[in-house]
């Protein structure tokens, strides 16, 4: 199988708040997570199911990140929701994210294919493996091979969890494609107490990294409070995940 096309180090650990809320919030997140990972997630543009809910800070958030980068060294991972955002966001982001609602937005995928940043492509709520890979192909065909697949749970008949994390996707796609695949078990479960155990199961299944929602004060998070870990919990999870990766690799040699 061809070499992984992404010019990143794996396992890739990405943590941070669902939504960028304030400079203080992100500064605290960076200070506590940076010793473990330099990749910090923070949503600036937020496509929400409910049109009346918080939609993100938008351009004000871009300026906030720009100012913060003058004094703090971190790599921002954030979602792009339409092609017009790419130019401004490319000045502050190290990795772009395509959210579940935009997996089949071909105009956006083609536009991101013309950039030179890695693209995290989340699976849609009802997307099949083949549909997901075909969406990735739009980015690749447009000129950017640096696609990272992200399993984030699918919609099933089970109401107990927000989504059902499809752990089958990881070994299946690892055998079918050279694209890396990471696990978002925050959205994949919707419950704080399930995030870590399912994340470690995903690593055991072969995931190349984790995308985890973490907040300095999870219960006050503007978005997705129920699934957000504290920064301390996220740090502990990343340490556990790295130890598990090391163990699995040592037993495969």
Read off the pLDDT band of 1 (50, 70, 90).
Answer: very low
Supply the pLDDT for residue 89: 96
pTM for the predicted model, two decimal places: 0.94
- pLDDT tens, residue by residue, 151-184: 999 999 999 999 999 999 999 999 999 999 999 9
**Distance between first and last Cα of the chain:** 19
Helix (H) or strand (E) holding 249: helix 231-250
Q: Where along the chain do its domains lie? A: 12-250
Q: Which residues pair with 121 in a beta bridge?
A: 98, 149
- Just give the CATH number of 12-250: 3.20.20.70
Q: Provide the mean pLDDT of the chain.
A: 93
Sign of CA dihedral 197, 201, 202, 206: positive
pLDDT on residue 251 = 86
CB 102 within 8 A of CB 108: yes
């Amino acid at each position: 199988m061809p070499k992984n096309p992404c010019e990143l180090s794996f396992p890739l650990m990405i943590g941070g708040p669902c939504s960028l809320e304030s400079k203080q919030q992100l500064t605290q997140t960076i200070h506590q997570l940076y010793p473990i990972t330099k990749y910090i997630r923070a949503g600036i543009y937020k496509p929400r199911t409910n049109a009346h809910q918080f939609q993100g800070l938008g351009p004000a958030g871009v300026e906030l990140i720009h100012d913060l980068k003058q004094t703090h060294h971190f790599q921002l991972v954030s979602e792009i929701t339409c092609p017009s955002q790419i130019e401004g966001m490319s000045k502050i982001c190290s990795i772009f994210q395509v959210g579940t609602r935009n997996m089949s937005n071909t105009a956006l995928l083609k536009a991101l294919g013309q950039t030179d940043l890695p693209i995290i492509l989340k699976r849609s709520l009802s997307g099949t493996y083949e549909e997901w890979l075909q969406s990735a192909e739009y980015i690749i065909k447009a000129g950017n091979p640096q696609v990272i697949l992200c399993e984030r749970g699918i919609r099933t008949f089970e109401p107990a969890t927000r989504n059902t994390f499809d752990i089958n996707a990881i070994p299946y796609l690892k055998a079918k494609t050279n694209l890396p695949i990471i696990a978002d078990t925050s959205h994949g479960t919707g419950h704080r107490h399930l995030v870590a155990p399912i994340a470690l199961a995903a690593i055991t299944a072969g995931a190349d990294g984790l995308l985890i929602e973490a907040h300095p004060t999870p219960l006050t998070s503007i978005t997705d409070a129920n699934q957000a870990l504290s920064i301390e919990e996220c740090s502990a999870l990343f340490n556990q995940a790295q130890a598990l990766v090391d163990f699995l690799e040592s037993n495969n040699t």
